[in-house]
Structure 1
Amino acid sequence: MANQLSNTQTYGVPIYAAEWIPEETVRSKIDKDEEKPEDGGESSSSRSCIVLSGGGGEGNSGIPNVILICRVDLETNSLSEQPIRDLRSLLQLGKLLLGTDLPYRMTVHPRGGGPICALPNSCKLFDWENIMNPSEDNQAGEESDEVITELRDVGQQLALAFNQEGSVLASGGEDGTLRIFEWPSMKTLLNESNAHASVKSLTFSESGKFLVSLGGPLCRVWDVDASAAIASLPKEKDEMFAYCRFSVDNAGNEVLYIAANTERGGSIITCDPTSWKRKRSTLIKNNPISAFNVSADGKLLALGTLEGDVLIIDSTKMKTFQVAKKAHLGFVTALTFSPDSRCLVSVSLDSRAKLTVIEQTHGKGGPRWWLLVLLLILTYIVSYFFTKAKGIIPMKIPQVIPQHDAAE
Structure 2
Amino acid sequence: MPAEATPTTLSPEPGTASKTSFPLDVRFPVYSIAFTNDDTVLLAGGGGSSRTGVKNRLSMYSVDVKKRQISLVEEHELSKEEDAPMTVAVHPQSKSIVAGINSSVAQLEKGVNENLRVFSYDDKAIKYEKRKQTITSTDPDHYQKVTAISRTASSPLVAVGSTNSQLSLLSFPDLDDVFPSITYDGEEIYDADFNDEGDMLVGTSSNKLCVWSTKAADKDVEPEPLQVIERPVLKKELACTFRAAKFGRAATASNLYTVVNASPAGNVRKPPAGSKKAFVSLWDTRAWKLLKTRTVSQKPVTAFDVSEDGTLLAYGSSDLSVGILDAVTLRPLLTVLHAHDFPVTALKFNPSASVLISGSADNSIRVIEVPTLAQRGGSSATYAVLMTLLILLLAILIQQSFGDDLLAAARKAL
TM-score interval for Structure 1 and Structure 2 normalised by the shorter chain: 0.7 to 0.9
Deviations 1:109-153 (Å, cap 9, x if unpaired)?
131432111012312111115x93479xxxxxxxx7532366798
| TM-score relative to the length of structure 1 | 0.73
CA distance in 1, matches of 2:369, 2:160: 31
**DSSP 3-state at the match of 1:86:** strand
Matched, 1:71 2:71: no
**Residues 22 and 111, structure 1, Cα contact 8 Å, conserved in 2:** no
Matched, 1:147 2:144: no
1:217 is matched with which residue? 207
1:239 is matched with which residue? 240
Pair 1:364–1:189, CA change in 2 (3 A)? same
CA distance in 2, matches of 1:147, 1:97: 14
2:301 is matched with which residue? 289
Pair 1:236–1:86, CA change in 2 (3 A)? same
1:362 is matched with which residue? 376
**Residues 178 and 190, structure 1, Cα contact 8 Å, conserved in 2:** no
1:62 is matched with which residue? 53
1:10 is matched with which residue? 25
Structure 1 position 365, deviation (Å): 7.4
| TM-score relative to the length of structure 2 | 0.72
Structure 1 position 277, deviation (Å): 3.5
Identify which of 120, 129, 137 aligns with 1:127.
120
**Residues 320 and 337, structure 2, Cα contact 8 Å, conserved in 1:** yes
Pair 1:256–1:134, CA change in 2 (3 A)? closer
Structure 1 position 363, deviation (Å): 4.4
> Which amino acid is the alignment partner of residue 349 of structure 1?
A
**Residues 249 and 316, structure 1, Cα contact 8 Å, conserved in 2:** no
2:255 is matched with which residue? 255
**Residues 16 and 347, structure 1, Cα contact 8 Å, conserved in 2:** yes
Pair 1:362–1:172, CA change in 2 (3 A)? same
Identify which of 146, 165, 177 aligns with 2:166.
177
**Residues 55 and 103, structure 1, Cα contact 8 Å, conserved in 2:** yes
Deviations 1:6-57 (Å, cap 9, x if unpaired)?
742211111000001135xxxxxxxxxxxxxxxxxxxxxxxx1000011111
CA distance in 2, matches of 1:115, 1:344: 20
Identify which of 78, 92, 100 aligns with 2:82.
100
Pair 1:168–1:351, CA change in 2 (3 A)? same
**DSSP 3-state at the match of 2:189:** coil
Matched, 1:195 2:184: yes
Pair 1:149–1:156, CA change in 2 (3 A)? closer
Task: For 1:335-374, list aligned pairs within 5 A.
Answer: 335-360=347-372, 361-364=375-378
Q: Unaligned stretches of 5+ in structure 2?
A: 1-8, 103-112, 218-222, 234-238, 264-274, 391-414
> Which amino acid is the alignment partner of residue 216 of structure 2?
A
CA distance in 1, matches of 2:180, 2:345: 28
CA distance in 2, matches of 1:311, 1:244: 17
**Residues 324 and 335, structure 2, Cα contact 8 Å, conserved in 1:** yes
Task: For 1:378-397, list aligned pairs within 5 A.
Answer: none
Structure 1 position 156, deviation (Å): 1.6
CA distance in 1, matches of 2:40, 2:10: 20
Identify which of 152, 157, 160 aligns with 1:165.
152
CA distance in 2, matches of 1:282, 1:84: 39
Structure 1 position 293, deviation (Å): 0.5
Q: How many residues are treated as equivalent by the alignment?
A: 328
**Residues 74 and 126, structure 2, Cα contact 8 Å, conserved in 1:** no
**Residues 11 and 68, structure 2, Cα contact 8 Å, conserved in 1:** no
Query: Which stretch of the first structure deviates more once superposed, 277-286 or 336-345?
Result: 277-286
Structure 1 position 172, deviation (Å): 1.4
Task: For 1:99-118, list aligned pairs within 5 A.
Answer: 99-118=81-100
Deviations 1:171-229 (Å, cap 9, x if unpaired)?
11222122111212223211234234222210101111110001011101101103622
Structure 1 position 346, deviation (Å): 0.8
CA distance in 1, matches of 2:67, 2:207: 39
CA distance in 2, matches of 1:2, 1:14: 15
**Residues 196 and 215, structure 1, Cα contact 8 Å, conserved in 2:** no
CA distance in 1, matches of 2:244, 2:170: 21
**DSSP 3-state at the match of 1:239:** strand
Structure 1 position 248, deviation (Å): 3.9
Deviations 1:261-296 (Å, cap 9, x if unpaired)?
113311002122123333222211111101110111
> Which amino acid is the alignment partner of residue 20 of structure 1?
F
> Which amino acid is the alignment partner of residue 256 of structure 1?
L
> Which amino acid is the alignment partner of residue 320 of structure 2?
G
CA distance in 1, matches of 2:67, 2:332: 22
Pair 1:12–1:234, CA change in 2 (3 A)? same
Greater Rg by CA: 1
Pair 1:196–1:280, CA change in 2 (3 A)? farther
1:186 is matched with which residue? 175
**Residues 320 and 344, structure 2, Cα contact 8 Å, conserved in 1:** yes
